A and B are shown apart, each in its own frame.
Chain A
Amino acid sequence: MAYPANYRYTREHEWIEVNGKTGKVGITDYAQNSLGDIVFVESPKVGAAVKKGEIFGSVESVKAVSDLYSPVTGTVTEVNEELASSPEKINTSAHEAWIMKVEINDPAEVDSLMSAADYEKFIAEETGH
């Protein structure tokens, strides 16, 4: 699975696709694969304030629950309603199935996130290959 070069990545396995002042946030293919069949996504509320590195929701697979950490500080402008009825979209297309859109307070925060190449190196180390 290719990691889109125009996305940025966190060490907690979220991605963000930045477009102007807003960013779309989801979890990576590596993350969905380690979770297995996803059955539930707990999204934030529109208008909620999220902070970089802090929990904004969770995803649950049959086996486990996993917190979601915001890659940036900002305000939630939209959540992906489709995931309420079809959470498995994250399994089938992790890099398209965004969870929330955020208006980013400080664009410089994005620069501190990993590039696709760095992220691939990071997960290779994490899996020990």
Chain B
Amino acid sequence: MSTPATAPALRKTALNAVHRQLGAKMVDFGGWDMPVEYSGLIAEHMAVRTDVGLFDVSHMGDIQLRGPESLDAVQHICMNDAAKLHEGQAQYSAMLYPQGTFVDDVIVHKLSDNDYLIVINAGTREKDFNWIRTNARNFHCHVSDYSDLYTQLAIQGPKAAETLQKLTNVDLSTIKFYWFKWGTVCGLHNTLIARTGYTGEDGFEIYIPSDEATSKRVWEEVLEAGREFGIVPCGLGARNTLRLESALSLYGHEISETINVFEAGLDRFCKIEKGPFIGSEALQQVQAAGGPSRKLVGLEMVDRGIARDGYGVFNPDGTQIGSVASGSPAPFLKKNIALGFVPREYTSLDNEVFVQVRNTMVRAKVVPIPFYRRPKKQS
């Protein structure tokens, strides 16, 4: 056993003291002092799959583009087609470098015709804001960083709607997946309620004022509302295993400045046909050259052993062909799974590969992703 040293001067969300009171284990996540787990990672993961969990995701950033050319700016900076968005609708998208690799993945919300909200990752906040500001320069729009104004809470799981419904006047059944509305939540007017998340479950993300008293009050009211459903506070540990089971990308793992859109398998969110945007030219060249040489695949360990981030992937001859982007035991599926990059000739389903787990070659096979897909709603 060995334990890492702690780094100084971490940023804190408004709920930091609440997490500590709850006995959360805290970690440095991209420069933020964040809860990794409270009652235990597996219990938290299972609560979200079967009932409901509450996450503090205030470390995420919120960038607003406002002005007559805000749509043009978003179209230039983001790869998905924001022109398709209706007011009140959100879309998964990404910002690319000119070479077609990732600045970050984002969620674009259309607040109104001249007003877009881009939600970005914590570890890349400053880089993203500077990227947006620089690249929106030639458009008639104003870019604002509202990240510190909001506490962002994610209420996730099959009982998320029933939990949040107790606290709002908005009929949540009228908000479709990846849409949002404004309403009163816990007495707070004009609260953004989005049916989004990063767990592979149904759920909501709400944006409330970031003062400590309000943040704490809403956090506690959500826990109280969800108590009858067995709600638990969830940390970044469960957030990671939940997103991995659902094969959702994490910056620095499945997407990065050295991984392009085709390699990451995110082509369906990339609309080259919408017209030129940053990165589109390079991607057209990749396409013209016959596509990427490597691709992200799902791996399931066949023999005993757990693949971890960065482990090597080998072919049966013992030649290294790629590496693991994210690997972990999957608490709900009760399998050891991984996402990894391998050459295209190894991407067919059931293809046998090996992951080097420290000194041992452990057999794995290529499986479809997402590993987990939530059951369709009955009603």
Q: How far is the CB of A110 from chain B (nearest CB, A)?
A: 19
Pairwise interchain contact A66-B237, C-beta atoms closer than 8 A:
no
Is A100's CB within 8 Å of the partner chain B? Answer: no
From the candidates B2, B37, B41, B331, name the one contacting A66 in the complex (CB within 8 A): B2
Is B40's CB within 8 Å of the partner chain A? Answer: yes
Is B174's CB within 8 Å of the partner chain A? Answer: no
Nearest to A12 among chain B residues (CB) is: B1
List 7 additional A-B contacts (Cβ < 8 Å) besides A36-B40, A40-B329: A36-B25, A37-B40, A39-B329, A40-B304, A63-B237, A65-B306, A67-B2
- Which B330-379 residues have a C-beta within 8 angstroms of A? 331, 358
Per-position binary interface string of chain B over residues 1-17, scored 1 when its CB falls under 8 Å from any chain A CB and 0 otherwise? 11100100000000000
Is B47's CB within 8 Å of the partner chain A? Answer: no
Q: Which residues of A contact B (CB under 8 A)?
A: 12-14, 27-28, 31, 33-37, 39-40, 58, 60-69, 91, 126, 128
A-B contact pairs, 22 of them (CB 8 A): A12-B1, A13-B1, A28-B1, A34-B1, A34-B25, A35-B1, A36-B25, A36-B37, A37-B42, A40-B304, A40-B306, A40-B329, A61-B41, A62-B42, A62-B328, A63-B36, A63-B41, A65-B306, A65-B358, A66-B2, A67-B1, A126-B3
Docked complex Cα distance between A67 and B241 (Å): 22
- Which B10-40 residues have a C-beta within 8 angstroms of A? 25, 36-37, 40
Kindly list chain A residues whose C-beta atoms are within 8 Å of the C-beta of B2. Answer: 12, 66-67
Q: Which residues of B contact A (CB under 8 A)?
A: 1-3, 6, 25, 36-37, 40-42, 237, 241, 304, 306, 308, 328-329, 331, 358
Pairwise interchain contact A68-B1, C-beta atoms closer than 8 A:
yes
Kindly list chain B residues whose C-beta atoms are within 8 Å of the C-beta of A14. Answer: 1
Q: How far is the CB of A16 from chain B (nearest CB, A)?
A: 13
Kindly list chain B residues whose C-beta atoms are within 8 Å of the C-beta of A28. Answer: 1
Docked complex Cα distance between A68 and B2 (Å): 9
Majority-rule SS of A interface residues: mixed
Contact A37 B41, CB 8 Å, known A62-B241, A65-B306: yes
Docked complex Cα distance between A128 and B306 (Å): 32
Q: Which residue, B1, B37, B328, has most C-beta atoms of chain A within 10 A?
A: B1
Contact A36 B306, CB 8 Å, known A63-B36, A66-B2, A128-B6: no
Q: How far is the CB of B143 from chain A (nearest CB, A)?
A: 36
Nearest to B240 among chain A residues (CB) is: A63
Kindly list chain A residues whose C-beta atoms are within 8 Å of the C-beta of B1. Answer: 12-14, 27-28, 31, 34-35, 66-69
